[in-house]
Amino acid sequence: MCLFAAVASAQFNTNIETNVDAWKQCVLPACNPGGSGIPASTIIAQTGSKWPPNSLELSVTGPEWTDFLAYDKVGATTAAYFQSDFWVYIPTGTVFANYQALEYDIFEFLSPYEFMWGSQCVIGNMWQVWDELHQQWLNSTLPCSLTAGQWYHLRWWVHRVDGDTSCDGYPCMYYDMLGIDEVYTPFTMAEPSGPIPAGWSDDSGLNFQLDISGAKGKVTVAEYLQHVNLIELGN
């Protein structure tokens, strides 16, 4: 909990209640968030007075293995410490068999490296973190226990170290701690960042991704978000 206390810094906050238009989508075929399905429809919208009020609604309808990524780029930074802080609600009546995973990422594009602190709650399995260099998900020891019909307060703490190239010749992405409803789990996992793709410029921000499972037929998965904040500290 004291990870950020000693780091003098600038801070950026983005709040979806007033900044919904900042969120953009990445889906096949124009953009590749993973998966193989092409969505029939997607939603990035503010709920207004509808339940849940003043929330960001994310939803995708499509065939099996459809992935829908919503992202908010907030600008280039040389920060070394990051904290995401948000509330998430999975709709009542959700058919969890239709969900493969709920993904929550912090990213920093800082040439020549891409830092993608990816995390996902794999339904019926574990929380996983992302290895950017080898493009793979790795299990943690924390079970995925998110259920429908209640709000969860999620907070991620991650960092990098200037000059570090100790993860297969690349800077490490340190996954420090995940908080869920004020229960804090140290992760202490370090995975390699990767090279920034050609043509990409320096930037930073958040991703939220919904992944449809291998359930046959066209299905819909959704979540709602509130009080989304990103804190960037150091350097």
H helices of 65-196, in order, are: none
Class of domain 20-233: mainly beta
Amino acid at 108: E
* pLDDT in the model for residue 13: 55
* pLDDT in the model for residue 18: 54
19 phi-psi bin (left φ>0, alpha ψ -120 to 50, beta other): alpha
Tens digit of each residue's pLDDT (9 = 90 or more) over 139-148: 999 999 999 9
* pLDDT in the model for residue 7: 36
What is the rounded average pLDDT of the residues 189-194? 98
pTM of the model: 0.92
Residue 166 neighbours by CB distance under 10 Å = 12
